[in-house]
Amino acid sequence: MPTFNIQLFEGRTPEEKRKFVEAITRTTCETLGCAPGSVDIILTDVKRENWATAGKLWSDE
């Protein structure tokens, strides 16, 4: 069923990530009526130096 690819700045703890994926899974199941086992979530940690918005690297902030 659904697969989420989520990119976020590195530095979050495993517990923060655990709570995040639990919330995404719960909301997805409530919204789409699917079983938790059908929800895949791929988290990718990105360094601030590898992410830019409006032409500026986040590491420069």
Handedness of CA 61, 43, 21, 16 (dihedral sign): negative
The model's pLDDT over 1-47, given as tens digits with 9 standing for 90+, comes to 899 999 999 999 999 999 999 999 999 999 999 999 999 999 999 99
- Label residue 55 by pLDDT band (50, 70, 90): very high
Could you list the active site residues? 2
Contact assessment for residue 16 and residue 53, using Cβ atoms and an 8 Å cutoff: no
pLDDT at position 61 over 90: no
Please give the domain boundaries of the chain with CATH numbers for all domains. 3-60 (3.30.429.10)
